[in-house]
Amino acid sequence: AYRKGGYHAVRAGDSFAGGRYVAQRKLGWGNFSTVWLAYDTRSHRFVALKIQKSAADFSGAALHEIEVLSAIAEGDPSNSKCIVRLLDHFKHSGPNGQHICLVVEFLGDSLLRLIRHNRYKCIGLNRVREICRSILLGLDYLHREVGIIHSDLKPENVLLVSTIDPAKDPVRSGFTPILERPEGNFTRGIVVSVIEKKLKRRARRAIAKISERRSSLGGVPVQEKSLEGVDLRCKIVDFGNACWFDKQFTTEIQTRQYRAPEVILGFRYSFSVDMWSFACIAFELATGDMLFTPRNGQAFSEDEDHLALMMELLGKIPRKIAIGGSRSKDYFDRHGDLKRIRRLKSLPLHQLLVDKYKFSNSDALEFSEFLCPILDFSPEKRPTAAQCLQHPWLRKKDPKPTEKINELCTGKVQAGLSELRLKVGK
Ligand code: ADP
Ligand code: MG
């Protein structure tokens, strides 16, 4: 892929935008791009640099992403809507052609890494709720205020936000920026290295722990920090496939496992496709497993298996929907039954949660009452992100000691709960 039209090969220390950004190390990659941690020598902070493949299609997609992210930033001056912030963009010429580069705020690990790091088990329902709230805030803003469908929502495209002060975060501040300094401007380097020296030992220990954990996970790269007591927040990234709801350019959207039924069946789609993906993510966080993992068999396609899995979990697709899409004939007969997969084993969501994932009966019922309406086969019946944010499940809290201490930060203690203050203070 590192050829004409492809990725731009980057080494740590390479500089971009006339020397303003210096590449540090690779953070991740997608189909279209590689993403690097870079040091912004002007603002003296770390940023993420997304370097697009150079072929015309990819450049078009990057320009589109810049347009979308600019609109998103414009409507959210305080940067509080749980969407990644675009900071800058420019073109970079390399041996493989011209690459469009986006500079965005540097965020934490993706939910995919979080799930892997947690060894594919539930991350705790309070944490699931916190993450769900962030994603829903982001979706509500995107859908209602900007008019954009993300259309590729999945755990990889939701990144955790560190709420730890970077100066106190041994992993981040312990990272020495690689600076190619052509002239003798030493001030910045000295300031940075003083802070680092103080934290160097702690940092080294933390990094050693992380690589230990990494090797125990079989080489999976983990930047994840301990989750104890951290109020989790996250942000939605990757707007390369996003579209304005009234300007859709393609019918093939979303990553397989997170794809809504109306997309498979070839209907026009709307904001509610993101809600479907959101429900799939929530389930995955709560169980560690993907909600749907369709496979093709000898007699049936992956699409048909996917529809069968949906019906086993959620009941039969209403006939009108089953036969009404432009691709319905590929899967359904005129009665609304699948053509090649005849026998379905029904297993409703709450029962799956109890049987396979050992949820308590009440946890399972409450969680499935939250999820099932979002997994409605009729897209227009699905609740909006704003409606989901009102759901009582999101406001529930399992009592946990960490929560009590969090209350200290919210001002509730000052408002008269002095008993709590005494208890925690001792
Ligand atoms: P693509 O469009 O090629 O899929 P993404 O925007 O999804 O590119 O980025 C690819 C990967 O790079 C992400 O899954 C994530 O691991 C990493 N990444 C992207 N943006 C950031 C960021 N702002 N901070 C940290 N890592 C990021
Ligand atoms: Mg991506």
Over the stretch 275-295, which tens digit does the pLDDT of each residue have?
999 999 999 999 999 999 999
pLDDT at 229 over 90: no
Q: What is the DSSP letter of 235?
A: E
Residues with CB under 5 A from ligand 2 (ion): 30, 157, 238
Task: Please give the distance, rounded to the nearest whole angstrom, from the Cα atom of residue 237 to the centre of ligand 1.
Answer: 7
Q: What number is the average pLDDT over the span 313-342?
A: 97
Give this complex's ipTM.
0.98
pLDDT at 255 over 70: yes
31: confidence class by pLDDT, cuts 50, 70, 90: confident
Distance CA 360, CA 302 (A): 33
Greater confidence (154 vs 420) lies with: 154
Q: pTM here?
A: 0.82
Catalytic residues: 152
Mean pLDDT rounded to a whole number for the chain? 83
- Neighbour-count burial for 252-281, b at 16+ CB within 10 Å, e otherwise: ebbbebbbbbbbbbbbebbbbbbbbbbbbb
Cβ 110 under 6 angstroms from ligand 1? yes
Q: Which of 44-58, 128-142, 329-343 has the lowest mean pLDDT?
A: 44-58
* 50 known member of a binding site: yes
If you average pLDDT over residues 78-89, what whole number do you get? 97
- Where is pLDDT greater, at 163 or 113? 113
Residue 103 pLDDT: 98
Give the distance (Å) from ligand 1 centre to CA of residue 28: 6
Q: Which ligand is nearest to the CA of 105?
A: 1
Residue 210 has pLDDT above 70, yes or no: no
Q: Are 123 and 285 in contact (CB under 8 A)?
A: yes
Please state, for a pLDDT cut of 70, what percent of the chain lies above it: 78
Ligand 2 centroid to 32 CA: how many Å? 8
Question: Quick one: pLDDT band at residue 1, thresholds 50, 70, 90?
Answer: low
Q: What is the predicted pLDDT for the residue at 385?
A: 98
